[in-house]
Each structure stands twice: as C-alpha cells, then as structure tokens.
A and B are shown apart, each in its own frame.
Chain A
Amino acid sequence: AQSVSQHNHHVILSEAASLELGCNYSYGGTVNLFWYVQYPGQHLQLLLKYFSGDPLVKGIKGFEAEFIKSKFSFNLRKPSVQWSDTAEYFCAVNALTGTASKLTFGTGTRLQVTL
C-alpha cells in the first residue's frame, strides 16, 4: 500500500524567504504525485502535479516541485513566499494501476508567512 509522509507540520517564514516542504512516499511502482493547497476557509486546490517527463514541475503561483525517484521524494519549493501563501499544503500520491485509484494524502504542512 502507498503512504505519504510530510516532515514539516508547521512552518513559519517571513515574507520573501525561500520555502521547501518535504514529501516522501512509499510505493514501489509508478505513481502520480500531487501538491494541493487549502487556503483558510477554502477547498483544496491543485498546485501542481507530476505524471511523467521532466521531473521538475512548475505549478501555479510560482511553486515548483522536483520528483527524485531514487529518493522517493517530491519536495515543494518557492523562491520567495508571500503573505498570501499562508495555507495548508498537502502532498498526495496515487499508484498507477491502469484505472482511477485513490489518492493518499500526507498529514499536511501548515505554512504561516509573517509580514
């Protein structure tokens, strides 16, 4: 069974600081990888996803993530965070089985950006 771990539970950064949120998964086969964001009071939104190809994926709002297969990692990065990036970030993985399969989520990382 697949599992996802996010190492940082709560991160506090000042505006303009660089961000990196860790995500590791466990599954021996081919996977799709996702990062979702949940702003306060809002629903989950897709930040970016990796299916295949270039392991460096660029998403919305200046976020990017790098898939490192050998490390089973898919860390999220942003060079310079803004106050509006304050939100909960979830890494998710699904195993490619040929049919739509469930997403397994990490426990989430709460990002707080201070002015």
Chain B
Amino acid sequence: GAVVSQHPSRVICKSGTSVKIECRSLDFQATTMFWYRQFPKKSLMLMATSNEGSKATYEQGVEKDKFLINHASLTLSTLTVTSAHPEDSSFYICSAPDRDRGNYGYTFGSGTRLTVV
C-alpha cells in the first residue's frame, strides 16, 4: 500500500534554531500533504495543507512565518519550524491522501517528536 516516509523521527534542538521535517510519498504522488500537530493527551490538530506548486493553506491561529511549509515536488513536502522555542515541542505528523478504490484514504507518516531545549 501507499507509504509516507517521515524524517527525522526524533529531534532535539536548541531554542532559537530551526528544524526541518520531511515527508516523502513512496510509490504514489502526493499533490496534497496535511501537517498535524499532536499535543499530549489531545487530538491531532491540523496546522496546514500543502499543495505541490502553490502556497500552503494555514489553519487559523498557526503562524505562517514560524511554520514554513514547502511542497517542492509531487513526492516531497517539508515543514520547517523556525526559531524554535520550548513551546514548539510536540509531535508532528504528516498525512497524504491517496486514492483507494475510487475514494480517498489517508496515509500517515510515522511522526516526528520535536523537543526544544
């Protein structure tokens, strides 16, 4: 089946630095990628939707300049957390829709645990 490869799985960075998270679709083309953030004991909150070749669409309350999203090709979308702060520590997950027998299924990356110290 469709696979989304997400890297890194864990990253620890110093406050003020930037971190890039990559999501690659394997064996299928992902023209759209959804980026979620999962808080402890809470649900997945959609941060933004990236579309290949166009600007990402951010959900209300998500800082565009802080969470830079690039969808450079049909198989790669990246999320860069700029000038990271401890409050950005979280679990970030990407997801790509994939046609499944004429309907849309969703394939999730394995997630990235970001810790900002």
Is A102's CB under 8 angstroms from B93's CB?
no
- Chain B contact patch, size range: 20 to 34
Per-residue B-contact encoding for A65-84, CB less than 8 Å = 1, 0 else: 00000000000000000000
Residue among B43, B95, B103 making CB contact with A90, cutoff 8 Å: B43
Q: Which residue of A lies closest to B44 (CB)?
A: A105
State whether A102 touches B34 (Cβ < 8 A).
yes
Q: How far is the CB of B51 from chain A (nearest CB, A)?
A: 10
Is B44 a contact partner of A43 (Cβ separation < 8 A)?
A: no
Interface residues on A, range: 20 to 34
Interface of B toward A, CB cutoff 8 Å: 31-32, 34, 36, 41-46, 49, 93, 95, 97, 103-106, 108-111
Q: Top 3 nearest A-B pairs by Cβ distance?
A: A100-B97, A43-B110, A51-B103
